[in-house]
Amino acid sequence: SLSSPMHIRHRTFMHTLDLALDLEIRPLSAAELLPYKVLRDDMLRRHPDAFTSDFETEVARGPESYIGRLGLGDPSGSNFLLGAWVEGELVGAVAVERDTRVKMRHIARLAGMLVKHGFDPAADLVRNSWGVLELAGNKPALRRDVARYFHQRQEDANVAEL
Look at residue 59 in the predicted model and tell me its pLDDT.
93
Measure the CA–CA gap between 70 and 96, rounded to whole angstroms.
Answer: 9
pLDDT tens digits for 24-73?
A: 888 999 999 999 999 999 888 888 888 888 999 999 999 999 998 888 87
Tens-digit pLDDT profile for residues 66-102:
998 888 877 766 788 889 887 788 888 988 888 878 8
pLDDT level of residue 113 (50, 70, 90 thresholds): confident
Q: Any residues with CB less than 8 A from the CB of 111 and at least 6 apart, and which?
A: 79, 95, 96, 97
14: nearest Cα among 135, 115, 133, 162: 133
Residue 87 region, left (φ>0) first, then alpha (ψ -120 to 50), else beta? left
